[in-house]
Structure 1
Amino acid sequence: MDYNTSHFPTWCPGCGDFGIWASLKAAFAKLSLPTHKLALVYGIGCSGNMSSFLKGYGFHGLHGRAIPAAAGIKMANHTLHVIVIGGDGDLLGEGLNHLVTAARANFHLTVILHNNQVYGLTTGQSSPTSLPGSKGKITPKGVIDLPLNPVSLALISGATNVIRSFAGDIPQLTKDIITSLNHPGFSLIDVLQPCVTFNKLNTYSWFRQRFKRLDSVPVTLSESLAKAEWADDSIYLGQFTKRIRPVFTDQYAFLKQKSLIQADNPRDLTKILESLK
C-alpha cells in the first residue's frame, strides 16, 4: 500500500524527520493498515509538515494541542489508529500539560515525539530538551535551564508503554512503532534525531557514540527511571515500561460499549443553529 502523497518533503537534507517518516510508512505497511483507518494528528513545527507527505486522515491544529484533539478523535471512533506527531518544543512546551494528562488517563494513543533539542522551524531557538550550554538565537551564551527528559516524564505520569528510539535506525524505529500501535493504552516514543541545520552538537555521530540498548524491559519504576537518565557517555534506547491497565474509554460504560459516532441518541440541533443566524 502506498502511504506517500503527491508532495515530497521539504525538510533539510539529512533531517531526522526523513527517518521517522520512512519508519511510519514501513510500520503501516507491515501491519497492512489502510489509510482510512489512520488518524494522524500533527503539532506545529518541522514534524508537523509531515501532514502534507503522509496519507491518512490528518489534522494539523494549534501549537501544543495535538494530544487533546487526538483524544477526542479516539473517543469519537475507536476503530481508528490515532497517532500524534509532534516535536519537543510542541509536545513539551505548550503541550506539556496535555502529554501528562493523556498519560495519566491512559488514552489509547501513540505519540511520536520528534526530539531534536531545538526549535528548527523557527530557525534555532533552544527547546525544553536542549542541553545546558547549548547556544541558540535566544540563548547566545548557552542554555542554563535543566532539560526535560520525555521518557522520565512519561514514566512518572503513568504511561503504559514508553520507548526511546533513534531516527537514524529505521528498522528498529519501525519495530518500535509497531509495538506501540499494538499496545492497548498510551504509548510514547521519544525519537532522538539530529537537526542538521541548527543543532551542531547532537549530531548522528554524537548520538551513536553514546547509545546503549536495554537488555530487557525494566521491572520497577525506579529501575526504569535510572536507565532513562542521560549520562555523559551513555544514552539508553529501548522499551522502558510495558504495563496493562484500563484505557480511558473502557472506564466509562457508554464509551466502552461503542464509539461516540455510534451513539443511539443523536440530537436535532436545527433549532440551536437557527437561533444563531
Structure 2
Amino acid sequence: MSSDVRFTDFKSDAQPTWCPGCGDFGTMNGMMKALAETGNSPDETFIVAGIGCSGKIGTYMRSYAIHGVHGRALPVGAGVKLANPDIEVMVAGGDGDGYSIGAGHFVHAVRRNVDMTYVVMDNRIYGLTKGQASPTSREDFETSTTPEGPQQPPVNPLALAFAASGTFIAQSFSTDAQRHAEIVKEAVEHDGFGFVNVFSPCVTFNDVDTYDYFRDSIVDLQETDHDPTDYEDARSRILDPGTEYQGVLYRDDDSVPYEESHGVDADMSDIPDGAPEDATDLVREFY
C-alpha cells in the first residue's frame, strides 16, 4: 500500500451527471478520502456498483471497477475479494439497489463477513427512475406511485445487518465531510464486512428527508457515551426508530474475516498454465 496517495488520485476525468446538490457527491468524496488515508491506491482498489444513481460511481472514481446489475453488486464484490484477497474492495449501492432487490444478497454478505466495505447512499427514494418510494421511504411519503404513501414501515438497514451478525455497522451523513470520511475509513480498516449506511439527500425528488432535516435531527454518537463494542447498547440504539444516529453503532473487535476463517489467502487471478496467451494477457491486464 502507498503512503503518499491523495484522495484526488481517485478522481477520474469523467464529469458526474448527478443533479447539482445531490448528496452522492459528498458520499463519493468521503469514500475517496477514506481509501487514500488507509494507504490504498487506485491500482490496489476495486469499486463495484449496481444500478441507480449510485451505480455511476465506478465511472467517476479512478480504480478498477464493475458497473453491475440491479441488486447484485455484493456477490460480485465478494467474488473479486476472494479471487484476489490483496485488493481493496469497496461496494457502492443505493437504498433501492441494496435493500429491495438486493436485500437477500445484503443479508448473506453481512453474515459471511468477507473483508470488504459496503457504502449505501440512502436517499429514501428511487431517484434515477424519477421519484418512486424506496424500501427506506417513510410510511406516509407521497409519490406519483404511492399517492397515499407506501402504507408500510420503512426498512431498518442497521437492524437487518445486526440480525445477520454484522461485525461493523455504521451510519453517516454525506455533507458532514470529515465525520463521513472518518466513519468510512473505520469501515475500510475493519477486519471483516464494513457496512456504512449514508444519509445522502436527493434534492430533486425528496423534499422531506432534506439536508436541513438531517442537520436538525442527527445525533452524533461521538457526543454520547456510546461504546460500539457494547452489544446491548448497540442493539438498543439500532432498534430506536425515532433517532437518526451518526457514527459506529456496532463493532466486533474480535471479528475474523471469511478469508481468514476459510484459508482463502492466495491470489487466484492468474490464468492457469496452458490457457491461450491472449486470454492470459487480458486477465492479467484486468487485474
Q: Normalising by structure 2, what TM-score? A: 0.87
Answering whether residue 278 of structure 2 is matched by residue 236 of structure 1, we say: no
* CA displacement, residues 92-143 of structure 1 (integer Å, 9 cap, x when unaligned): 1111111110111111110001100000000001001001100112101112
Shift of 1:220: 4.1
Aligned to 1:103: 110
Aligned to 2:189: 182
* CA displacement, residues 32-87 of structure 1 (integer Å, 9 cap, x when unaligned): 32111110001110011112211000000111000000000000001111000000
Q: 1:206 & 1:229 partners in 2: Cα distance?
A: 20
> What percentage of residue pairs aligned between the two structures are identical?
34
1:245 to 240, 251, 255: 255
2:13 to 6, 28, 31: 6
Aligned to 1:145: 152
Q: 2:268 & 2:261 partners in 1: Cα distance?
A: 14
Aligned to 1:221: 231
CA contact 2:38–2:188 (8 Å) conserved in 1:
no
The answer for unaligned runs of 5 or more in structure 1 is 271-277
Amino acid at match of 1:31: T
Shift of 1:240: 1.1
2:208 to 191, 201, 213: 201
Shift of 1:230: 5.0
Q: 2:35 & 2:273 partners in 1: Cα distance?
A: 36
Shift of 1:5: 1.2
Distance 1:218 1:52, change over 3 A: closer
Aligned to 2:269: 261
Aligned to 1:274: none
Q: 2:213 & 2:240 partners in 1: Cα distance?
A: 13
Shift of 1:179: 0.6
Q: 2:245 & 2:174 partners in 1: Cα distance?
A: 14
Aligned to 2:282: none
Q: 1:117 & 1:229 partners in 2: Cα distance?
A: 18
Q: 2:72 & 2:200 partners in 1: Cα distance?
A: 22
Moved more, 112-121 or 25-34: 25-34
CA contact 1:45–1:121 (8 Å) conserved in 2:
yes
Q: 2:61 & 2:203 partners in 1: Cα distance?
A: 22
What secondary structure sits across from 2:108 in the alignment? helix
Q: 2:270 & 2:53 partners in 1: Cα distance?
A: 36
CA RMSD of aligned residues (A): 1.8
Q: 2:255 & 2:213 partners in 1: Cα distance?
A: 37
Q: 1:246 & 1:23 partners in 2: Cα distance?
A: 26
Shift of 1:241: 1.1
Shift of 1:221: 3.5
CA contact 1:229–1:235 (8 Å) conserved in 2:
no
* CA displacement, residues 213-250 of structure 1 (integer Å, 9 cap, x when unaligned): 22333444342122124544x32211111112321122
Distance 1:209 1:35, change over 3 A: same
Q: 1:49 & 1:30 partners in 2: Cα distance?
A: 23
Aligned to 1:71: 78
Amino acid at match of 1:36: D
Q: 2:39 & 2:238 partners in 1: Cα distance?
A: 32
CA contact 2:38–2:189 (8 Å) conserved in 1:
no
Q: 2:228 & 2:40 partners in 1: Cα distance?
A: 30
Q: Normalising by structure 1, what TM-score? A: 0.91
CA contact 1:89–1:119 (8 Å) conserved in 2:
yes
The answer for unaligned runs of 5 or more in structure 2 is 1-5, 277-287
- In the alignment of these two chains, the number of paired residues is 266
What secondary structure sits across from 1:212 in the alignment? strand
